């Protein structure tokens, strides 16, 4: 049985509204933060786009509904990308989303009533394809790359990117009324793709938010925000403190190092002995960090399976010495309530002697080193590779104290 365009649009609107409402409801129960707000805006724009396109299918001829629909669907995917960047601890770059969305709407307005249903269509297709591509790439980097649901979301976004960029190319080369476009990239097929996208992305993004909530179990909540978990700072609070410390160190020409510590085989521990044992293992490592690292260090969670430590260092070799001391204590530590479990960890380090004074760059470099440590079998320390010359900094704060 073939469904007409109007019926498909109504179905798409219903699926979008249900998926969006489900995500918003689950997010409001679990955790309200920047990521959830950005993704909520994304789903809200998706619902708005479905309503606009559905109304246009039932009562065609109003170019305003086309402008609203094109802008809303572009903004929806753009805010998904912004949320992915925020999830990875990067700036969401909302200005880019707003500028592209306004440009897509303007492309319809310029054509006016004579533009028809495909007025400014190329701009919408290009905008959606670009943001989907960026979201897909973002989902495979940073903290998201260690999440199964993030990889699922990334695959979905990359498929959407390929489809919409191909639609844009055929649109520009042959036009929206060509047989090629109608057969392989027409509204009916695009609606099916949209329905699949909404269902899969809603499940993946909801699961990601639930995982973020669970990773901060037993926190101290202050002003509606999680500040402590397992005796160390929660991820958001750690990042704020680390950025401030790095900025002050840069202005005083001091040096800093970032350590990322991941417990080897934590997933296997959870599977074999239960999540409770895995939580005890996390607490054990958190205790080691509190006992071994310098008093001035900032300690925090980075995601559900690894920790971050920002320390002040006076020379390059001090970074590795601290990391190796941490690793040695983790190996010697006993997991309470068990007799057979001995922990090991992979540690990636980056410092301002080899990486510029920037939290994002230090974290990316440390993540790369952490990946190398894990690929080499774990239970080791790997340092970031120097990619550019960074001037050695003199610790003037000590000079001032002297």
Whole-prediction pTM: 0.56
Checking if the pLDDT of 347 tops 80, the result is yes
Higher pLDDT, 75 or 111: 75
Instruction: Provide CATH 3.30.70.270 ranges for the chain.
Output: 227-401
Assign domain 227-401 to its CATH architecture: 2-Layer Sandwich (3.30)
Note the pLDDT tens digit of each residue in 258-276.
999 999 988 888 777 777 7
Task: Give percent of the chain above pLDDT 70.
Answer: 83
Checking if the pLDDT of 2 tops 70, the result is no
Note the pLDDT tens digit of each residue in 163-190.
999 999 999 999 988 889 888 887 777 7
Note the pLDDT tens digit of each residue in 223-262.
434 444 567 888 888 888 999 999 999 888 889 999 999 9
Q: With beta carbons less than 8 A apart as the criterion, state whether 262 and 327 touch.
A: no
The CATH class of 5-215 is mainly alpha
pLDDT of residue 304: 66
Higher pLDDT, 6 or 141: 141
| 57 φ, ψ (degrees, to nearest 5) | -70, -35
The residue with tokens 């403190």 is: 241
| 138 φ, ψ (degrees, to nearest 5) | -65, -35
Checking if the pLDDT of 201 tops 90, the result is no
- Give the count of alpha carbons within 13 A of 172, CB side only: 10
Q: With beta carbons less than 8 A apart as the criterion, state whether 52 and 68 touch.
A: yes
The DSSP symbol for 146 reads: G
Instruction: Provide CATH 1.20.1070 ranges for the chain.
Output: 5-215
């Amino acid at each position: 049985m073939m469904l007409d365009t109007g019926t498909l649009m109504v179905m798409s609107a219903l699926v979008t509204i249900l998926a969006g409402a489900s995500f918003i409801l689950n997010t409001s129960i679990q955790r309200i933060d920047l990521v959830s707000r950005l993704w909520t805006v994304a789903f809200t724009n998706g619902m708005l786009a479905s309503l606009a396109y559905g109304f246009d299918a039932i009562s065609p001829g109003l170019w305003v509904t086309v402008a609203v629909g094109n802008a809303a669907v572009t903004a929806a995917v753009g805010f998904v990308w912004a949320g992915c960047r925020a999830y990875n601890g990067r700036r969401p770059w909302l200005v880019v989303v707003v500028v592209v969305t306004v440009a897509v709407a303007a492309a319809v307005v310029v054509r006016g009533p004579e533009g028809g249903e495909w007025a400014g269509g190329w701009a919408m297709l290009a905008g959606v394809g670009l943001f989907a591509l960026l979201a897909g790439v973002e989902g495979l980097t940073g903290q998201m790359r260690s999440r199964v649901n993030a990889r699922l979301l990334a695959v979905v976004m990359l498929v959407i990117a390929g489809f919409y960029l191909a639609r844009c190319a055929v649109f520009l080369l042959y036009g929206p009324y060509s047989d090629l476009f109608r057969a392989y990239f027409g509204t009916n097929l695009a609606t099916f793709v949209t329905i699949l996208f909404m269902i899969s992305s809603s499940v993946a993004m909801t699961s990601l938010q639930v995982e973020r909530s669970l990773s901060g179990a037993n926190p101290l909540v202050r002003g509606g925000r999680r500040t402590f978990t397992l005796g160390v700072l929660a991820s958001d609070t750690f990042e704020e403190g680390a950025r401030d410390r790095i900025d002050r160190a840069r202005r005083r020409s001091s040096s800093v190092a970032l350590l990322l510590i991941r417990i080897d085989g934590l997933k296997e521990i959870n599977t074999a002995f239960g999540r409770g044992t895995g939580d005890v293992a996390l607490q054990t490592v958190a205790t080691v960090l509190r006992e071994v690292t310098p008093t001035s260090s900032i300690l925090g969670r980075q995601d559900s399976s690894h920790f971050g430590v920002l320390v002040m260092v006076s020379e390059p070799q001090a970074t590795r010495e601290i990391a190796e001391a941490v690793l040695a204590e983790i190996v010697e530590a006993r997991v309470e309530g068990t007799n057979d479990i001995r922990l090991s960890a992979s540690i990636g380090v980056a410092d301002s002697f080899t990486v510029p004074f920037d939290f994002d760059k230090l974290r990316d470099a440390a993540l790369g080193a952490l990946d190398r440590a894990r690929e080499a079998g774990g239970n080791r320390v790997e340092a970031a590779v120097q990619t550019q010359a960074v001037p050695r900094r003199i610790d003037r704060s000590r000079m001032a104290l002297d």
